[in-house]
């Protein structure tokens, strides 16, 4: 089984600030890290470090950031199918972090939104029934819809993380097998939260729903009922990538055991995310292959 993560790749420029900037304000900050990021890259790197065969399909543009992206991806245990675009800058994020570990992120998506369906399908043509297509919200609407439709035709399992939020996401649920949402996403997309939000998504056709709630833990919902797991204790330094770590480890844990998402997969994901929130940066904060092997063996 292989995971095909189709999404964005970016360089995260993380700046620590004492509080988030308000309109019209000039703030002093300190560069904290410059690291590989982007939700697609994050999820693929963590899946690959778990030992699940993983392919990242993403677009890179021109400039020094595209070289950084290629260098950093080359050090990861994944296959990178990078579509090189000319006349477009590689995507990047400005991440503000405050001393309590909260973050606010602005991401450019010019490269991600220029990715064409044809380019994605050239690589996805290698996928076999039962492989997993993992998607987030950074691609164009047409490409996101086209990938989900193709994944259905090819009998792939589809996993979707509706972030960043887009207005068309509620149409997609019938083509989504596994949905991962944080509290804000659940509220925006269903008008409610907790178990009520999960029930709405299950009624729309999602097979398994995972709701994450930061330090309060996470809940899995499917036709057999609800299972909640607590967050693992952590000293929070920077929550960037916590949700991506959680989703990738939950998927890899169940895929490597040949089963659906279950309580054990959520426990593995919680343990891994607690490591991510305790470290600064994005890729450099993710659990290592050795750490993940220990977590997944439990």
The rounded distance, in Å, linking the Cα atoms of 166 and 72 is 29
Asked if residue 191 belongs to a known ligand binding site, the reply is no
The rounded distance, in Å, linking the Cα atoms of 287 and 92 is 22
What token pair was written down for 187? 């509220």
Binding site for ligand ATP (CB under 6 A): 182, 212-215, 217-218, 231-232, 234, 236, 239-244, 246, 270, 273-274, 277
Residue nearest ligand ATP, CB atom distance? 243
Asked if residue 279 belongs to a known ligand binding site, the reply is yes
Give the angle subtended at the CA of 112 by the CAs of 187 and 179, to the nearest 5°: 35
Asked if residue 59 belongs to a known ligand binding site, the reply is no
Give 231 or 265: the residue with its C-beta nearer to ligand ATP. 231
Give 54 or 239: the residue with its C-beta nearer to ligand ATP. 239
Asked if residue 217 belongs to a known ligand binding site, the reply is yes
Asked if residue 110 belongs to a known ligand binding site, the reply is no
The rounded distance, in Å, linking the Cα atoms of 158 and 162 is 12
Least distance in angstroms from the C-beta of 140 to ligand ATP: 22
Give 61 or 243: the residue with its C-beta nearer to ligand ATP. 243
- Residue 9, phi then psi, degrees to nearest 5: -130, 140
Active-site residue, selected from the candidate residues 35, 222, 244, 262: 244
Give the angle subtended at the CA of 34 by the CAs of 273 and 88, to the nearest 5°: 110
Least distance in angstroms from the C-beta of 9 to ligand ATP: 16
Strands (E), the chain: 3-6, 10-16, 30-37, 54-62, 79-89, 91-97, 103-107, 132-135, 157-160, 178-182, 208-212, 218-222, 225-229
Could you tell me which residues are beta bridge partners of residue 84? 60
Least distance in angstroms from the C-beta of 229 to ligand ATP: 8
Give 88 or 274: the residue with its C-beta nearer to ligand ATP. 274
Tell me which long-range contacts 233-236 makes (C-beta under 8 A, separation of at least 24): 233/274, 234/274, 234/275, 234/277, 234/278, 235/278, 236/100, 236/101, 236/277, 236/278
Least distance in angstroms from the C-beta of 213 to ligand ATP: 5
Give 48 or 241: the residue with its C-beta nearer to ligand ATP. 241
Least distance in angstroms from the C-beta of 125 to ligand ATP: 31
- Residue 85, phi then psi, degrees to nearest 5: -110, 140
Specify whether 244 is catalytic. yes
Asked if residue 13 belongs to a known ligand binding site, the reply is no
H or E element: which one contains 292? Answer: helix 289-297
User: Token pair 């973050």 is at which residue?
Assistant: 103
**Residues annotated catalytic, as ranges:** 244
Residue ranges of the annotated binding site for ATP are 182, 212-217, 243-244
State the binding site for substrate: 10-12, 38-42, 244
Q: Which residues are annotated as a binding site?
A: 10-12, 38-42, 182, 212-217, 238, 240, 243-244, 276, 279, 281
């Amino acid at each position: 089984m292989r995971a095909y993560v189709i999404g964005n790749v970016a360089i995260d420029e993380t700046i620590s600030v004492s509080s988030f900037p308000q309109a019209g304000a000039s703030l002093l900050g300190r560069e904290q890290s410059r690291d590989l990021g982007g939700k697609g890259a994050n999820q693929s790197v963590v899946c690959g470090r778990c030992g699940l065969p993983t392919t990242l399909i993403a677009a890179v543009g021109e400039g020094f950031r595209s070289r950084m992206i290629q260098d950093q991806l080359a050090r990861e245990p994944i296959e990178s199918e990078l579509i090189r675009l000319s006349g477009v800058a590689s995507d990047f994020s400005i991440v503000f972090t405050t001393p309590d570990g909260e973050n606010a992120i602005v991401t450019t998506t010019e490269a991600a939104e220029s990715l064409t369906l044809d380019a994605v399908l050239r690589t996805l043509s290698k996928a076999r029934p039962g492989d997993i297509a993992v998607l987030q919200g950074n691609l164009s609407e047409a490409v996101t819809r086209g990938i989900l439709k193709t994944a259905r035709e090819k009998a792939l399992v589809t996993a979707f993380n509706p972030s960043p939020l887009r207005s068309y996401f509620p149409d997609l649920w019938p083509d989504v097998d596994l949905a991962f949402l944080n509290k804000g996403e659940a509220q925006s997309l269903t008008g409610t939260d907790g178990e009520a939000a999960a029930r709405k998504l299950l009624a729309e056709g999602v097979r398994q729903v995972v709701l994450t709630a930061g330090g309060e833990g996470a809940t899995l919902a499917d036709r057999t009922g609800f299972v909640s797991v607590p967050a693992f204790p952590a000293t929070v330094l920077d929550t960037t990538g916590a949700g991506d770590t959680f989703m990738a480890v939950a998927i890899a844990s169940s895929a490597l055991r040949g089963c659906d998402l279950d309580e054990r997969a959520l426990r593995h994901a919680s343990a891994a995310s607690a490591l991510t929130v305790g470290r600064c940066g994005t890729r450099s904060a993710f659990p290592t292959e050795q750490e993940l092997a220990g977590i997944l063996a439990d």
